[in-house]
Amino acid sequence: MAKHNPRALGTKTPGRHEARWLWLAGAAIAFVALGVWLLTPRVSIDPDLRAALIDQLSPRYPNEQFRASVAADVAYFGLPCDIFEGDEVDVDLYRGIGEGNYGVLVIRSHSGSLESGGAANQRTTALFTNERYAEYKHVAEQLNERVLIVRPFEADPVLTFGVAPSFFAKSMRGELPGTVVVVAGCSVLARPDLAQALVERGASVVVSWDRSVGLDYVDEAAALFVRHLLAEGMTVEEAAAATMAEVGADPEFGAVLKYYPTSAGRHNAEELLRR
């Protein structure tokens, strides 16, 4: 009986050089496939959604590391990101924020719980802008306290405008498309008024701190939360817990990371944006 010839029927055993070229071709295909996978958004949401980073603190307290970290995680999540800073952060920016189709809104800003109507027992939560106060600007909104006069620091001679919950309820144009709002600022969730106003205008969740915060601390913690939520796909509850486990409460003021409403905690960002 004739012995089987491995080279019969037109087959050819690859030589050393041919095997090397086959290996290189396979590696190149795998590399291209990996690149396509990395560039493909990890989520399935409205392709027209965008993200915005509002950096009210950038003129005096720039933090490029924070900005780069947030931008990278937003890009990984699959959203283009608009950045607003300096004089761009004015009353009209917040007036039109509901028209930007922003699925993720990260706000790095002075904020606080302020006396309302001159009464110490009545307080309202405000986001600060970089628009200098002038009595002839936003007159009607000043009179009805949708726009407030704020001072970032007690010793600061410059007065600027802040926006109150009623501003988002009555003066903001458009609607928030299930927006995930993260505010790196003081006392935004000391009371629910601002968060509730944003949720009533379409936000799915507002994430922030319940007391005053130090700048270095809140920059680190907010960036960590955004990474856990957007890049790692955690739920809001998981991302908040992981962030607090890593950085703890604010070492100076004791502020902790919270979110509103609590029912949003069981969802990840993709689920919140698809609700």
The enclosing domain of 93 has a CATH number of: 3.40.50
In whole angstroms, give the CA distance from residue 60 to residue 37: 39
Number of domain units in the chain: 1
For residue 226, being part of any structural domain is answered with yes
Kindly give, in sequence order, each residue whose CB lies less than 8 Å from that of residue 94, ignoring residues fewer than 6 positions away: 127, 129, 163, 167, 168, 172
Count CB-CB contacts under 10 A for residue 122. 10
For residue 84, being part of any structural domain is answered with yes
For residue 60, being part of any structural domain is answered with yes
Identity at 182, one-letter amino acid code: V
Q: Give the DSSP H/E element, type plus range, for residue 258.
A: strand 257-260
Measured between alpha carbons, how far apart are the two ends of the chain, in Å? Answer: 72
For residue 1, being part of any structural domain is answered with no
For residue 29, being part of any structural domain is answered with no
Count CB-CB contacts under 10 A for residue 194. 29
For residue 33, being part of any structural domain is answered with no
Q: Tens digit of pLDDT per residue, the chain (275 long)?
A: 444 443 333 334 445 555 455 555 555 554 544 444 444 445 578 899 999 999 999 999 999 999 999 999 999 999 999 999 999 999 999 999 999 999 999 999 999 999 876 666 789 999 999 999 999 999 999 999 999 999 987 778 899 999 999 999 999 999 999 999 999 999 999 999 999 999 999 999 999 999 999 999 999 999 999 999 999 999 999 999 999 999 999 999 999 999 999 999 999 999 999 97
Count CB-CB contacts under 10 A for residue 107. 25
**What residues make up the domain containing 94?**
50-274
In whole angstroms, give the CA distance from residue 258 to residue 27: 46
For residue 190, being part of any structural domain is answered with yes
Model pTM score: 0.84
For residue 163, being part of any structural domain is answered with yes
